Structure 1
Amino acid sequence: MPFRHAHLYILALIALTVLAFWPTYFSILSTSPWGFHFHGITATLWLFLLALQSWTIHDRRFALHRSLGMASLAVFPLFLAGGAAVVSSMASATLNGELFYQTYGARLGIMDSSSVVLLGYLYHQALKHRRSVQLHARYLLATPLPLIMPIVGRVLNHLVPPLAIHGPQDFHLFAWGVRWASVVGIAITVWLYATAPRHGRPFLVAGAVIVAQQILFDSVGYTSAWQNAFLAFGRVPVIVVVLATLAVGAGLSWAGWIAGARPKRAAAALNSG
C-alpha cells in the first residue's frame, strides 16, 4: 500500500490548520460567518476520515476501511459544500465592504472556486479507480493539497517576520504569503509525483491546478469582469449555494461509484435508477 504513514501527515496538517487560522478564525469564533464554520467543520471531518482510511488499510482493518469508504459518500458532498460556503462568505464580506476582502476577496475567490472544482474531480476519480489501489489512494490523498496553500500562507503571514501582517498597512504582504505558499504546494506535488510517476497523475493534476491558481490570482483576479461576477455571487444566499453544491457533490459521488463498479453491477445500478 502506498504512503504507509499518510495518516500522520494528515493529522499534522490538522494541527497546522489550528495554528494558521487561530488569529483570524479560532480566536474569534463567535464573530465568524456560519459559512466559515461549515467549511471548518466539514474540512476537519474530511481530513479525519482520510487519516482513518489510511490507518485502517495499513493496519489491515479491511471491514472498517470499507465502512469508512461508504461513509465518505455522505461526507464528501458536505466537504464540497463547505468549500463553496467559504467562497460565498468571502463574496458577501467583499460586498459588505470589509477592508481585507475588498483587497483580496475576488482574488482569493477565484483560487478557492477552482479548488472546489479540483476536489470534485479528485473524489470522482478516486471512486472510479477504487479497484486500483495505487490510483485510488493517490486521488484521495490529493484532496488535502488545495488546503495547503491557505494554511501555509497564513502561517507565513503570522509567524515569518518579513511577511508578518500586523494591520491594514501590511495587507500587501498577504499576496506574497500566497505566492510562497504556492511554491510550497507545487514542491509537495512534485515530490509526491516523483515517488511513483507511473501512478502520479492525481498529483500532477493537483500541481497543475495550483500553478493555474497562482496565475489567476495575479491576473484574472484583478479584472473588473471577475470582480463584478464575484460580487454578484455574494448576493446569492449562502444556504442556496450550500444546497446546490450538496446536490453536485452527491451527483459526483454517485457518478464516480457507478464508473468504478464492475460492468454488470453498474448496469444493474443504472437500470434500478
Structure 2
Amino acid sequence: MPYKYGHYFVAFTLAITVGGFWASYFTASGPMPLAFHVHAVTAMTWLAFLLVQSVSIHSRRNALHKTMGQASFALFPLLMLGFVAIINLSASRYLAQESPFIMELGPAFGIAMVIALAAYLTLFYNALKHRRNIKLHAGYMLATPMILFESPFSRLMEHLFPWMNFIQSGGPRNVLDTIAISDTLVSAFALALYFRDRKHGAPWLMAAGFVMLQAVVTWFAPDMTFLNAPFKAYAQIPGSITLAAGALAGIAVTYFGWVAGSRPAAARAVPETG
C-alpha cells in the first residue's frame, strides 16, 4: 500500500493541532463560542478518521477501512459546516466592530477559511473520484491535513518559535506573517512529495497550490479594501442559510465525487454466455 508512513504524518498534525490550540481552546477558562466547538470537534474527528483509515488499510483490515470510508459521507458535510461556522463568527465580529484587531484582520481570516473550504471540497471530490487508483485516492485524502496544518502551527510559531517569523511586519499583521510562513513550509513539503512521484503527484501539487494561494491572499488581504464590503454583506446573511449551504456543498461533493468514480455501466455488466 502507498504512503506506509501516512498515519505518522496525520498523528503529527493531530499533535500540532492540540499543541497549537492548547492555551486558546483546550485549557481556556472562559466560555467559548459554539462555532469553535463545532469546528474543533469536526476537524479533530476528521484527523482521527484519517489516522484510523491509514492504519486499517496498512494492517489489511479492509472491512474496517470500507466502513469508515462510508462514515465519511456523513462526517465530511459536518466538517464543511464547521468551516462555515468559523467564517460566520469572523464576519459577525467584523460587523459588530468588536476590536481594532478584528477590523484589520477579519476579512483576511474569512478569506483564509474560504480558501481552506474550497481546498477540502476539491481534494475530497478527487479522492472519491479516483478511489479505484490507490495512490491517487490515498494522496488526496492525506493531503487534506495539509490545509489544516497552518492554523495550529502558526499559533505555535507565535508563542514558542517567534524566531521563525523572519518577516516581522509588526502589530496585528504579525499573525499573517506566521500564517504565510506556515503555509510556505507546508507547500515545500507537498512539492517534495510531488517530485518524488510526479505520475501520482497531482494531490500534492493541488495542496501546494491551495496553501500558497492562502498564504498570498491572506497576507495581502488587509490591503485589499474591496474585500471589506462583501465581507460585511456576508455577515448580514442569516447564519442558518450559510451553514446549510456549507453542509449542502459537502453533500454535493460527496455525491458527485462518488458518482464520478463509479465504473461505467458497461464495465460492471457481466457478459452473457451463449
TM-score, scaled to structure 1: 0.90
CA–CA separation in structure 1 for the residues paired with 2:222 and 2:230: 11
Q: Which residue of 1 aligns with 2:94?
A: 94
CA–CA separation in structure 2 for the residues paired with 1:267 and 1:246: 31
Matches within 5 A, 1:1-273: 1-28=1-28, 30-99=30-99, 100-162=101-163, 170-264=171-265
1:29, distance to aligned residue in structure 2 (A): 6.5
Q: Do the aligned partners of 1:120 and 1:249 also contact (CA within 8 Å) in 2?
A: yes
Greater Rg, structure 1 or structure 2?
2
Superposed CA deviations along residues 194-233 of structure 1, whole A, max 9, x for unmatched, are 2311101011011112222222123345322211111222
CA–CA separation in structure 2 for the residues paired with 1:220 and 1:265: 50
1:243, distance to aligned residue in structure 2 (A): 1.5
| Letter in structure 2 aligned against 1:208 | G
CA–CA separation in structure 2 for the residues paired with 1:59 and 1:197: 26
CA–CA separation in structure 1 for the residues paired with 2:62 and 2:124: 20
1:131, distance to aligned residue in structure 2 (A): 0.3
1:172, distance to aligned residue in structure 2 (A): 3.4
1:117, distance to aligned residue in structure 2 (A): 0.8
Superposed CA deviations along residues 44-77 of structure 1, whole A, max 9, x for unmatched, are 1111111111100000000110101111111111
1:129, distance to aligned residue in structure 2 (A): 0.5
CA–CA separation in structure 2 for the residues paired with 1:136 and 1:219: 33
> Structure 1: where are the runs of 5+ without partners?
269-273
Superposed CA deviations along residues 244-266 of structure 1, whole A, max 9, x for unmatched, are 11111111101111111111299
Superposed CA deviations along residues 102-154 of structure 1, whole A, max 9, x for unmatched, are 22111121121011011101101100000000100001111111111112111
Q: Do the aligned partners of 1:122 and 1:202 also contact (CA within 8 Å) in 2?
A: yes
C-alpha change, 1:97 and 1:31, in structure 2 (3 Å) is: farther
CA–CA separation in structure 2 for the residues paired with 1:58 and 1:11: 15
1:42, distance to aligned residue in structure 2 (A): 0.5
Q: Which residue of 1 aligns with 2:272?
A: none
1:267, distance to aligned residue in structure 2 (A): 10
CA–CA separation in structure 2 for the residues paired with 1:112 and 1:83: 7
| Letter in structure 1 aligned against 2:19 | L
TM-score, scaled to structure 2: 0.89
Secondary structure of 2:28 counterpart: helix
Secondary structure of 1:219 counterpart: helix
Q: Which residue of 2 aligns with 1:271?
A: none
| Letter in structure 1 aligned against 2:26 | F
Q: Do the aligned partners of 2:180 and 2:219 also contact (CA within 8 Å) in 1?
A: no
CA–CA separation in structure 1 for the residues paired with 2:104 and 2:254: 36
CA–CA separation in structure 2 for the residues paired with 1:98 and 1:266: 58
1:162, distance to aligned residue in structure 2 (A): 4.1
Moved more, 91-100 or 15-24: 91-100
1:5, distance to aligned residue in structure 2 (A): 2.0
CA–CA separation in structure 2 for the residues paired with 1:45 and 1:176: 28
> Structure 2: where are the runs of 5+ without partners?
270-274
CA–CA separation in structure 1 for the residues paired with 2:268 and 2:115: 32
**Considering only aligned residues, what root-mean-square deviation do their CA atoms show, in Å?**
2.2
Aligned length: 264
CA–CA separation in structure 2 for the residues paired with 1:160 and 1:36: 25
| Letter in structure 2 aligned against 1:48 | A
Q: Do the aligned partners of 1:21 and 1:151 also contact (CA within 8 Å) in 2?
A: yes
CA–CA separation in structure 2 for the residues paired with 1:265 and 1:20: 50
CA–CA separation in structure 1 for the residues paired with 2:240 and 2:41: 16
Q: Do the aligned partners of 1:163 and 1:174 also contact (CA within 8 Å) in 2?
A: no
Secondary structure of 1:25 counterpart: helix
What is the percent sequence identity of the aligned residues? 33
Q: Do the aligned partners of 2:39 and 2:86 also contact (CA within 8 Å) in 1?
A: yes
Secondary structure of 1:262 counterpart: coil
Moved more, 169-178 or 209-218: 169-178
Q: Do the aligned partners of 1:258 and 1:266 also contact (CA within 8 Å) in 2?
A: no
Secondary structure of 2:24 counterpart: coil
1:35, distance to aligned residue in structure 2 (A): 1.2
